Amino acid sequence: MNIEQEITQSTLRIVGDTSLTHEQAMMNLSKIPGQFVYGFLPPQGYGRLLNQGVLSDLGEGYAPICPRYILPDYDLFLKKGCSFLRIDPPKDLFEAIEALKMFYRHIPSITNFPVYLGRLDRMLEPFIRDEAEARRLIRHFMIFLDRTISDSYAHANIGPEATLAGEIILDCDYELQNATPSITLLYDPAITPDAFAARCARNDLACAKPSFANDAVYKNAYAGEYGIASCYNVLPVGGGAFTLARLNLKAAAEQAQSTEDLLERVLPEAVALNCAFMDEKIKFLIEKSLFFRSNFLAQEGFLHLDRFTGMFGVVGLAECVNHLETLEGRAGVLYGHSGAADSLAHRVMTRLTELVHAYQSPYCAVSGGHYSLHAQVGLDIDIGVSSGARIPIGDEIELYAHLRHAGQFHPYFHSGVGDIFPFEVTAKRNPESMVDLIKGAFSVGMRYFSAYASDADVIRITGYLVKKSDIEKLARGEAVQQDNVIWGLGEVQNSHILDRKVRSL
Amino acid sequence: MIAALVNRILPFSSVDGPGNRTVFFLQGCNFNCGYCHNPETIHVCNNCGACVSACPTGAIRLVEGKVTYQRSVCCACDACLRACPRDASPKVDVMQPEQALGILSGNLPFIRGITVSGGECTLQRDFVLALFRGAKHMGLGTLLDSNGNYDFEQDEELLPVCDGVMLDVKCADPDAHRTLTGQSNELVLKNLAFLASVGKLEEVRTVVVPGVLPNEDTVRQVCAGLAPYWAAGAPIGYKLIRFRPLGVREGFRSVPVPNDESMEHLRGIALQAGCANVSIL
């Protein structure tokens, strides 16, 4: 098939697909040229590793028009307004919410929707005068977000302090049971009151959010403020990530003859190519693409070029280690189940960290001059590859051991990592018990904890949220408003998301 | 010798007191309630060996005349419990307090406390005391689940290391209580008043059994006893538990589950008496 035929076929398939909304069809069409047009060239040798599945460009295309993840400085916006959009600084809650609604509409990302909505409680709290009015306005604001941002990568942050705005957001979210926005509590047991944390745990069980981020660790992630965006990505506010390019450790191990061969030949080549690939893409974004040269977000100081970095994504640590054990004649020695396998996993991650940190790039001063390791959640088309450093679904271990294991491996991934635990419905009677678990987990190194109860409709797929009822609709061929339900359906079919071990508590 | 017979350990539980706790269930009880939903915890094994041939995996064996149990081989089919003629689970571990504390310390830092239940754990009081002392040393909370047939007032060592007792008040009427449990409720009612008066009553539980027990009378008497403490702000909870015919012995299998209306009626009585924390299970 030549390019013209491929474009024709892709276009007609999208235009005629009755399971897409108008917006989804438009966005899918917009992705087509990027698969054929090369605004920059990948480095020599990249194509080979791409074909082997060792590296992935995550479908960003070769002519990006904006950075992948953008975390605007919303505090500045609420203080100064925006001259390009002709928005004055808001004076009350109604105006603040209206201003944000307009502003969000103009925040792009890889999904074409904002992936970061700011520290919503802290942003709204100063405007609250009357609680009843605040409840009504915030409730409708949250409905607006779900119905217009058709994508649950949109992420609001709350905490670590308890606020009335935070409480109202939680109450509305509990009642509304929407998938969007995703929410994370920036949790520090020394700052966040137990009652507020328990309220968050109650919500987490009922609708899979908020997740809990280890604020005491993450607040030192970068100079200046950080935010949790998209799935669980830890990025600088006033910046973000230019791009995310990933290494599949399982596929890498399959190219190796032995552990030594992986560590000394396969990984060095893959890391060098993945980093060089990001360099080329970022150079194009900065020098050729319109965003940093003309977009008002950059021009009015809501974003700063020097607060962006690139994310080095990793998947399949578990399968990599299990494969290496087999190669070394120890088949059945499994990641998460054996101290020897876990030691090997540490060897792989230590070597990978060393290689990634040794590659100096001019585009990531904010993350120490090198790209930032990230536990990528996976793609809907991945089969038999676990997210980041997670223990595979179906292979889970006893809860406390699992949390300790996560605590050992989370610290490798500076720009985001997380584990997900479904619980029996009995846990809902005592959300404080989940807070106890999280406190323990954070004290042994865990960085990000998500949960949901086994009867919840809104669930966390790999990092993002989807309503199970929407997955069922889409599986019947009906269109659904939220676009990432399609990834959720793929994950359910290919990665057995609904088969995660349900923990009784 | 303060080893105990441990029926089961739950590393994490959200239903046995505040927060996340590790729970020890001890074997043996001095009540013999008709509606007990885990009757295999009532008696202690007498090494008759009836369960040995019932065990499909060889987890239970007779060694030098004693029934021994190997947890790692057990397939949890419960064939042994069905074969036992005297409601005495052979699936118990003989455990010293040091072993129990070792297991407990492995669950730090994920728990805020320990709950010891049964059976009736006060029958193995020395073990409980040692366990609580060790748990306190680790900074953990300590709760005890009891049928109330133990004179807490006479024990000067236990309550100082026990944060609170979760007390079963099965029946206030003495005769009905004796019929149900085989024992007097004199100590139970004394403990209700005593534990409340010394601030060691965490919660009271009453199982509601329609047509068999004078449920409303029990709830009213418990409430009458606790009303002054509730009025003074004591956070004593009251759990009203629906009888369910799961796991019970022959005589109670056809007893119905109480309906929502009757449970709400009982809740209303407790609320009116000033209890801020009534729950229906």
Segments making up each domain of chain B, as ranges: 4-39+93-280, 46-83
Contacts 24+ apart (CB under 8 A), B150-154: B150/B120, B150/B122, B150/B125, B150/B187, B150/B191, B151/B187, B151/B190, B151/B191, B152/B191, B152/B194, B152/B195, B152/B200, B153/B190, B153/B191, B153/B194
In chain A, the residue whose alpha carbon lies closest to the alpha carbon of B21 is: A433
B111/A444 Cβ within 8 A: no
Residues from chain A that touch B13, judged by Cβ atoms under 8 A, are 433, 505
Residues from chain A that touch B19, judged by Cβ atoms under 8 A, are 430, 432-433, 435-436
B11/A430 Cβ within 8 A: no
> How is chain A split among helix, strand and coil, in percent rounded to 5?
50, 15, 35
The pLDDT profile of chain B, 281 residues, written as one tens digit per residue, is 589 999 999 999 988 999 999 999 999 999 999 899 889 999 999 999 999 999 999 999 999 999 999 988 999 999 999 999 998 999 999 999 999 999 999 999 999 999 999 899 999 999 999 999 999 999 999 999 999 999 999 999 999 999 999 999 999 999 999 999 999 999 999 999 999 999 999 999 999 999 999 999 999 999 999 999 999 999 999 999 999 988 888 888 889 999 999 999 999 999 999 999 999 99
- CA–CA separation, B51 vs B58, rounded Å? 10
Of the candidates B11, B14, B109, which has its C-beta nearest A433's C-beta? B14
pLDDT digits (tens, 9 = 90+) for A205-263: 999 999 999 999 999 999 999 999 999 999 999 999 999 999 999 999 999 999 999 99
Of the candidates B18, B108, B110, which has its C-beta nearest A437's C-beta? B110
A209/chain B closest Cα distance in angstroms: 20
Q: Which residues of B lie inside 8 Å of A (Cβ-Cβ)?
A: 11-15, 18-21, 106-112
Residues from chain B that touch A505, judged by Cβ atoms under 8 A, are 12-14, 20
Residues from chain B that touch A429, judged by Cβ atoms under 8 A, are 14-15
Please report, as a single letter, which amino acid is at residue A90: P
Per-residue confidence band for A335, with pLDDT thresholds at 50, 70 and 90:
very high
A433/B19 Cβ within 8 A: yes
Q: Tell me, what's the pLDDT at A333?
A: 95
Q: Tell me, what's the pLDDT at A445?
A: 97
Sort B76 into a burial class: Cβ within 10 Å, 0-12 / 13-18 / 19+. Answer: exposed
Q: What angle do CA A198, B144, B95 make, to 5 degrees?
A: 110
Helical (H) or strand (E) element with B107: none
Q: In chain A, what is the straight-line distance between the N-terminal and C-terminal CA atoms, in Å?
A: 55
Of the candidates B15, B110, B111, which has its C-beta nearest A430's C-beta? B15
pLDDT digits (tens, 9 = 90+) for A478-489: 989 988 888 888
A444/B14 Cβ within 8 A: no
Residues from chain A that touch B21, judged by Cβ atoms under 8 A, are 433
In chain A, the residue whose alpha carbon lies closest to the alpha carbon of B12 is: A505
Of the candidates A398, A436, A444, which has its C-beta nearest B19's C-beta? A436
Residues from chain B that touch A444, judged by Cβ atoms under 8 A, are 109
* Three-state SS at A80: helix
Domain B46-83 in CATH 3.30.70.100: no
A440/B109 Cβ within 8 A: yes
pLDDT digits (tens, 9 = 90+) for A95-132: 999 999 999 999 999 999 999 999 999 999 999 999 99
B112/A436 Cβ within 8 A: yes
Pick from A401, A380, A359, A377: which is nearest to A501 by CA? A401
- A179-197 average pLDDT score: 97
Asked whether the predicted pLDDT for residue A444 surpasses 60, the reply is yes
The whole-model pTM stands at 0.92
Asked whether the predicted pLDDT for residue A268 surpasses 80, the reply is yes
- CA–CA separation, A222 vs A371, rounded Å? 13
Helical (H) or strand (E) element with B14: none
To probe the interface with B, which of A205, A398, A400, A421 has the most B CB atoms within 10 Å? A400
Q: Tell me, what's the pLDDT at A484?
A: 83
Give whole-number Cα distances, B48 to B90, B94, B191, in Å.
10, 18, 36
Tokens 């008696």, residue located: B43
Contacts of B160 (CB under 8 A, 6+ apart): none
pLDDT digits (tens, 9 = 90+) for A141-175: 999 999 999 888 999 999 999 999 999 999 999 99
Tokens 């419905």, residue located: A425
In chain A, the residue whose alpha carbon lies closest to the alpha carbon of B108 is: A440
Q: Tell me, what's the pLDDT at B1?
A: 57
Q: How many helices and strands in chain A, by DSSP H and E?
A: 21, 15
B11/chain A closest Cα distance in angstroms: 9
- CA–CA separation, A271 vs A308, rounded Å? 20
CB B12 within 8 A of CB B139: no
Of the candidates A399, A429, A443, which has its C-beta nearest B109's C-beta? A443
- CA–CA separation, A391 vs A34, rounded Å? 34
Give whole-number Cα distances, A221 to A142, A247, A265, A323, A371, in Å.
29, 22, 31, 33, 13
Q: Provide the CATH topology of domain B4-39+93-280.
A: TIM Barrel (3.20.20)
Q: Tell me, what's the pLDDT at A321?
A: 98
Residues from chain B that touch A426, judged by Cβ atoms under 8 A, are 14-15
Pick from A111, A98, A194: which is nearest to A155 by CA? A111
Token pair in block for residue A432: 């404080």
Pairing of strands A211-214, A155-158: unpaired
Residues from chain B that touch A435, judged by Cβ atoms under 8 A, are 19
- CA–CA separation, B191 vs A317, rounded Å? 57
pLDDT digits (tens, 9 = 90+) for A42-95: 999 999 999 999 999 998 999 999 999 999 999 999 999 999 999 999 999 999
Sort A329 into a burial class: Cβ within 10 Å, 0-12 / 13-18 / 19+. Answer: exposed
Pick from A221, A364, A357, A225: which is nearest to A283 by CA? A364
Per-residue confidence band for A382, with pLDDT thresholds at 50, 70 and 90:
confident
Q: What is the ipTM of this complex?
A: 0.87
Of the candidates A400, A403, A505, which has its C-beta nearest B14's C-beta? A505
B187/chain A closest Cα distance in angstroms: 31
Phi and psi torsions of A189, nearest 5°: -55, -25
- CA–CA separation, A287 vs B222, rounded Å? 78
Residues from chain B that touch A402, judged by Cβ atoms under 8 A, are none
* Three-state SS at A86: coil
Residues from chain B that touch A432, judged by Cβ atoms under 8 A, are 18-20
- CA–CA separation, A191 vs A50, rounded Å? 45
Q: What angle do CA A438, A439, A442 make, to 5 degrees?
A: 80
Residues from chain B that touch A437, judged by Cβ atoms under 8 A, are 12, 20, 110
Of the candidates A400, A434, A441, which has its C-beta nearest B11's C-beta? A400
Of the candidates A426, A430, A440, which has its C-beta nearest B110's C-beta? A440
B13/chain A closest Cα distance in angstroms: 5
CB B17 within 8 A of CB B143: yes
Pick from A277, A285, A294, A492: which is nearest to A393 by CA? A492
CB A204 within 8 A of CB A278: no
What count of other Cβ atoms lies within 10 Å of the Cβ of residue A318?
Answer: 25
Q: In what order do the strands lie in the sheet with A116-119?
A: A116-119, A155-158, A182-187, A211-214, A448-453, A419-423
- CA–CA separation, A182 vs A413, rounded Å? 21
Q: Tell me, what's the pLDDT at B191?
A: 98
Residue ranges of A 420-479 with Cβ closer than 8 A to chain B: 426-427, 429-430, 432-437, 439-441, 443-444
Residue ranges of A 387-406 with Cβ closer than 8 A to chain B: 398-400, 403
